[in-house]
């Protein structure tokens, strides 16, 4: 029997054997995080040598094992208590091992942003995928049609935001000889936002077009409130609430038209306003409310630290930052200027610059005047660290915005405790961007 996205499922939702096989990958020069001593060894054999952080070079990005575990469990428990489904955004990490941890904790599926990411997920046997985008590429739709035909247990849903996108999808799927209907959510946007119908009435007309398209099935409504606000000010929160109420109105207009035989889907929620999504949408009748938060798995020491609902008092312990950059002082050309060997190719910078936290094996930098003021491609400008950061010192850096951190690393070491004087490497997370 073919699955719909809203159907309840059993099993892990990912091919555990394929994830486990990542331990057999042979390490070499392709993985900039790892020293030559690791080359020629499998991931499993390298970890068996009990490597230490001190044996890795710089620049470097690491994950803290305990923080990742805490974040995954905390979000799963929060969603279970709120009575909503979690379909975390896999684009944040593009790491099948982390997707597996999220699914094992109770996630309903995995969200992705484009077709190449969907193909990675399918390569690892992910069985329930939400594409938070509109898929119009005819070749891609042909591939999707073949995947759905070959695997009746594969459940997939994507977005549409215009009658023209409905027409193009239907045309391409017919040409591909699609045997299963593709489930779609009508996307509601907002003024100044990204994609999405600009109003409920327009969205209702798009839904009517979906109902006329034989290759498509209306599964519900969705959108992204995070494109409409960027802070937790009263104005920002009011904008988000207004959008979510419009999404609830759209659900009310369309819920009886959804034809999947399962609960209509109402999907919203990144990692900044998921508490408001629950407050505004969780009580909707006959709806599967789906959160798509992704950044929570690593959290950060910047944007999400300042805006996360669990940092704003939404209940439960706050998330913990699991990502850290490590960079070495390579130059002190001026008394209050040090240059580090990590830059834009290594660390995120689009939602705030890295923050210096401590000198490895030495003093903490919190509360001092030390700060990163700029990044070049391969260097960071550290100012006002005084004598705390001599040439050769290695600094731990907090980073902001995990969505643009993981993509810079194909293999990320996992530490037992990033706060330890001598952290040990207990795992390696493989990414596929």
Mean local confidence (pLDDT), 377-387: 97
Domain membership flag for residue 95: yes
How far apart CA 85 and CA 268 sit, in angstroms, is: 11
Q: List for the chain the helix, strand, coil content (%; round to 5).
A: 35, 20, 40
> 243 in a domain, yes or no?
yes
- Tens digit of pLDDT for each residue in 182-202? 999 999 999 888 999 999 999
The answer to whether residue 402 sits within a structural domain is: no
Tokens of 412: 């990320």
Q: Within a domain: residue 221? A: yes
Total domains present in the chain:
1
| CATH code of the domain in which 166 resides | 3.20.20.10
Any domain includes 21:
no
| pLDDT value at residue 372 | 98
65/120 Cα distance (integer angstroms): 24
Residue 315 tokens, joined: 């209940």
CA dist 399 to 140, 349, 412, Å?
35, 8, 15
Residue-wise pLDDT for 8-65, tens only, equals 765 679 999 999 999 999 999 999 999 999 999 999 999 999 999 999 999 999 999 9
Tell me the average pLDDT across 223-245.
93
| Segment 307-325 mean pLDDT | 88
pLDDT of residue 111: 98
pLDDT at 50: 97
| Nearest in space to 203 (alpha carbons), one of 261, 249, 268 | 249
- Which structural domain, as residue segments, surrounds residue 145? 68-299
The reported pTM is 0.96
Whether 145 is covered by a domain: the verdict is: yes
Q: How confident is the model at residue 351 (pLDDT cuts 50, 70, 90)?
A: very high
| Domain-located, residue 42 | no
104 in any annotated domain: yes
Q: Which residue do the tokens 């990144």 mark? A: 270
What phi and psi, each to the nearest 5 degrees, are found at residue 372? -90, 125
């Amino acid at each position: 029997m073919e699955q719909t996205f809203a159907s309840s499922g059993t099993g892990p939702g990912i091919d555990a054997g394929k994830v486990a096989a990542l331990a057999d990958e042979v390490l070499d020069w392709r993985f900039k995080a790892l020293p030559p001593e690791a080359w020629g060894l499998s991931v499993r054999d390298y970890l068996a040598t009990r490597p230490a952080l001190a044996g890795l070079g710089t620049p470097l990005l690491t994950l803290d094992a305990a923080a990742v575990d805490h974040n995954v469990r905390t979000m799963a428990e929060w969603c279970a208590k709120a009575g909503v489904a979690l379909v975390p955004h896999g684009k944040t990490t593009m790491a099948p091992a982390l997707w597996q941890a999220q699914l094992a904790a109770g996630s309903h599926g995995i969200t992705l942003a484009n077709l190449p990411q969907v193909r990675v997920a399918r390569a690892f046997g992910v069985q329930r995928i939400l594409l938070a985008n509109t898929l119009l590429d005819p070749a891609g739709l042909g591939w999707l049609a073949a995947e759905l035909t070959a695997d009746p247990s594969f459940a997939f849903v994507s977005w549409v935001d215009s009658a023209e996108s409905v027409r193009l999808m239907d045309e391409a799927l017919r040409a591909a000889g699609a045997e299963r209907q593709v489930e779609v959510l009508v996307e509601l946007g907002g003024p100044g936002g990204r994609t999405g119908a600009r109003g409920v009435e327009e969205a209702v007309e798009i839904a009517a077009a979906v109902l006329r398209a034989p290759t498509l099935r209306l599964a519900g409504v969705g959108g992204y409130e995070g494109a409409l606000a960027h802070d937790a000010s009263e104005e920002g929160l009011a904008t988000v609430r207004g959008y979510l109420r419009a999404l609830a109105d759209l659900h009310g207009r369309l819920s009886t038209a959804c034809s999947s035989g399962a609960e209509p889907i109402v999907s919203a929620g990144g990692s900044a306003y998921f508490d408001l999504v629950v407050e505004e949408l969780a009580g909707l009748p006959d709806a599967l409310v789906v959160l798509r938060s992704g950044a929570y798995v690593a959290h950060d020491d910047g944007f999400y630290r300042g805006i996360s609902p669990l940092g704003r008092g939404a209940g439960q312990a706050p998330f913990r930052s699991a990502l850290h950059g490590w960079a070495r002082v390579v130059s002190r050309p001026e008394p209050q200027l040090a240059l580090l060997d990590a830059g834009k190719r290594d660390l995120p910078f689009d939602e705030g610059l890295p923050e210096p936290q401590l000198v490895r094996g030495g003093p903490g930098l919190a509360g001092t005047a030390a700060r990163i003021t700029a990044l070049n491609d391969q260097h960071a400008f550290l100012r006002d660290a005084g004598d705390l950061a001599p040439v050769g010192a290695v600094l731990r850096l907090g980073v902001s915005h995990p969505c643009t951190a993981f993509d810079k690393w194909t293999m990320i070491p996992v530490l037992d405790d990033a706060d330890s004087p001598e952290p040990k490497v207990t795992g390696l997370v493989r990414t596929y961007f």
